[in-house]
Amino acid sequence: MTRTLFERASDNTVTSLWGAIEGPYGGFHSLDSYDTVVLFAAGVGITHQLLFVRQLLAGRTSGTAATQQILLVWCIRGMEALAWVEHWLEELAEMEHFGNVVRIHVYVSRACPGTQPTPAYLDVRQARCDPTEVLNGEILAQDGVMAVTVCGPESFNSSVREAVRKSLCVRDIDFFEESFSY
């Protein structure tokens, strides 16, 4: 679509087009009172979760957020998706407390030919994400009260929701869901 749009804009003729913009997504939940926050994202769902990371780090610096641990789990098909948010990830990595508070796990489901250099703060895993396994590990290391959020397509959100439901017998977890569809 972007190629077609570029070609139309380049031919110096007047053209009329219509478009649709998706978002903003549902409500914004404050996660400031949670000590441990686990953010799951699939594909473009990362855009929603990056805002939480920025807000929580800023709140920690100003003393308005209780956040001690943030785990951002991003599931993508291929490494080329990193280019979508590379600039924002770099900005986050430069924020105060990032190295002490934030961990980022990137699950890549499609095999990548060769190796691409990635920033040291990214833990890239060539596998599909198992939300239950991720949560089991986080519950063991949990500091205080935990929130889990997810933003992705319905099937991914369902798998995270199920993992949280299974974990409720071990710990109290507050769950927030944001979805998108096409």
Q: Cis omega (within 30 of 0) on the bond before 117?
A: no
**Per-residue pLDDT tens for 83-127?**
999 999 999 999 999 999 999 999 999 877 666 788 999 999 999
pLDDT given at position 61: 96
**Per-residue pLDDT tens for 125-159?**
999 999 999 999 999 888 799 999 999 999 999 99
| Banded pLDDT at 4 (limits 50, 70, 90) | confident
| Banded pLDDT at 77 (limits 50, 70, 90) | very high
Structural Rg of the chain based on CA atoms: 18
**Per-residue pLDDT tens for 6-60?**
787 788 878 777 776 655 554 578 999 999 999 999 999 999 999 999 999 999 9
Residue appearing with tokens 């500091």: 143
Residues contacting 139, CB < 8 A, separation 6+: 146, 167, 170, 171
Domains delineated in the chain: 31-179 (3.40.50.80)
| pTM listed for this prediction | 0.84
